[in-house]
């Protein structure tokens, strides 16, 4: 589910919303490198939001401060967004993604100082993780055990990285995740009447030797390690 095997043309055809969002990330990152005016007009700035510049609750979702910041969030979206776009459909995915990002920015507005500034897609991406978290335990018909293990591992890594980097907007990460979890049943629907899945069912104890991982599993873990390295390196950029 999280291994991308499509070529560029196939990916853009199957996941046009993800493709469009990443393209917006790239264009805006290039623009703000050469135009401080555009950055000043679009960055999240709590004081100006309180003064009526409401668009600043939306525009920061698509802005990034550095190349590693842009690459990290865009790669995360390419890996974990397609499954959600396929499940929700294009319109519902757009609404969910933007609404999740807005709620993360509203929490930032309410809980951070007036002079606080912020930008980045992390709040919206953590909303996607929140939706997956809901599926792991309450919609097991949508996510198998292997993919559930990957999601929970990603969440642990994401939380560790959130508190490791002093430049990260912790409020946006946590409330983006919370927003995605709360919004999930409204966007996914109730589904079949299945019992919630327990943590033990996701990570069962066994004394049997593990079977060798297949190629796809190896790719997933390589990507996870790469994401962690990029996140750590971004602290020094």
Cα separation, 54 vs 74, in Å, equals: 25
**Interval 69-122: pLDDT, tens:** 899 899 999 999 999 999 999 999 999 999 999 999 999 999 999 999 999 999
Q: Which residues, 6+ apart, have CB-to-CB distance to 177 below 8 Å? A: 126, 127, 129, 130, 133, 155
- Domains of the chain and CATH, by start: 8-236 (1.20.1540.10)
DSSP letter at 168 equals S
pTM value is 0.87
The active-site residue, picked from 74, 122, 148, 234, is: 122
Q: Check if 173 is active-site.
A: yes
Q: Check if 122 is active-site.
A: yes
**Interval 20-71: pLDDT, tens:** 999 999 999 999 999 999 999 999 999 999 999 999 999 999 999 889 889 9
Buried b (16+ CB within 10 A) or exposed e, 146-162: ebbebbbebbeebbebb
The active-site residue, picked from 173, 198, 218, 234, is: 173
């Amino acid at each position: 589910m999280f291994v991308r095997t499509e070529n560029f043309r196939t990916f853009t055809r199957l996941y046009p919303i993800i493709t469009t969002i990443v393209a917006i990330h790239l264009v805006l990152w290039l623009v703000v490198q050469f135009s401080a005016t555009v950055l000043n007009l679009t960055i999240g700035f709590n004081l100006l939001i309180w003064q009526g510049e409401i668009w600043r609750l939306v525009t920061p979702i698509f802005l990034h401060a550095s190349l590693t910041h842009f690459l990290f969030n865009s790669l995360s979206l390419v890996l974990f967004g397609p499954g959600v776009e396929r499940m929700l459909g294009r319109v519902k995915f757009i609404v969910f993604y933007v609404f999740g990002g807005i709620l993360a920015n509203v929490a930032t507005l309410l809980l951070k100082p007036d002079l606080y500034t912020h930008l980045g897609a992390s709040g919206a991406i953590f909303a996607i993780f929140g939706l997956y978290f809901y599926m792991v335990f309450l919609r097991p018909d949508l996510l198998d055990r292997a993919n559930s293990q990957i999601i929970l591992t990603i969440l642990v890594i994401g939380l560790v990285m959130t508190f490791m980097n002093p430049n990260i907007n912790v409020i946006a990460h946590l409330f983006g995740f919370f927003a995605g979890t709360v919004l999930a049943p409204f966007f996914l629907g109730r589904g079949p009447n299945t019992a919630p899945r327990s943590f033990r069912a996701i990570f069962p104890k066994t004394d049997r030797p593990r079977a060798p991982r297949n190629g796809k599993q190896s790719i997933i873990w390589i990507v996870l390690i790469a994401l962690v390295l990029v996140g750590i390196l971004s602290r020094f950029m």
